[in-house]
Structure 1
Amino acid sequence: MNLIVRNIAPSCTEQEVREFLKHELGHYARNVEVVDAGTPGAYATVELDAQVPYVGEVIARQIHGKHLGGMALEASADLFTDDSPPAQPPAH
């Protein structure tokens, strides 16, 4: 399960974002990847060490609104990763 964190301040470096998220998420953060650091479109994906889908949503709510670099972060859980594709509706 992945956590997507957006609205990262352009003034934040990749290292600052990674350290902040690892500190905030503790043992739940398996891997943190920061994309386009230093730009207005910067975001981070965090591979969560959690097997239950609702845990990702709870973690996203805890990160959502926290401030980094003077901006409130936006976070959401990606319930569908490459390991677990979305369920298909039953065939009729």
Structure 2
Amino acid sequence: MNLIVRNIAESCSEQEVREFLKRELGHYAKNVEVVDAGKPGAYATVELGAQVPYVGEVIARQIHGKHLGGLALEASADLFSDEPPGAR
């Protein structure tokens, strides 16, 4: 299961985003991939170490609204696909 995190500030580097998400998610974050860091529309995909769907939703709610680089993050659990947002 993946967590998709959007609304990442252009001022944030890939490393900043990765470190922030790993710190916030702790052991739930198996892998963090940041796409287009420093550009409009940047997002991150976090592979979660939990296989129960409701856990992903709970984690998404905890990240949603947290501030990074002056912007409130938007997060959602992607229960059905490993494709990046908008790829469907």
TM-score (norm 2): 0.91
C-alpha distance in structure 1 between counterparts of 2:29 and 2:22, whole Å: 6
Alignment root-mean-square deviation, CA: 0.7
Partner of 1:10: 10
> Per-residue displacement from partner, 1:56-89 (whole Å, max 9, x unpaired)?
000000000000000000000000135xxxxxxx
Partner of 2:61: 61
Correspondence list, 1:78-89, <5 A: 78-81=78-81
* Unmatched runs of 5 consecutive residues or more in structure 2: 83-88
Rg bigger for which structure? 1
Partner of 1:88: none
> Per-residue displacement from partner, 1:18-68 (whole Å, max 9, x unpaired)?
000000000000000000000111000000000100000000000000000
C-alpha distance in structure 2 between counterparts of 1:6 and 1:74, whole Å: 5
C-alpha distance in structure 1 between counterparts of 2:52 and 2:70, whole Å: 32
C-alpha distance in structure 1 between counterparts of 2:79 and 2:54, whole Å: 9
Flag as ranges the 4+ runs of structure 1 deviating above 6 A.
none
TM-score (norm 1): 0.87
Partner of 2:48: 48
C-alpha distance in structure 2 between counterparts of 1:34 and 1:56, whole Å: 18
Name the SS of the counterpart of 2:4 in structure 1: strand
Aligned residue pairs: how many?
A: 82
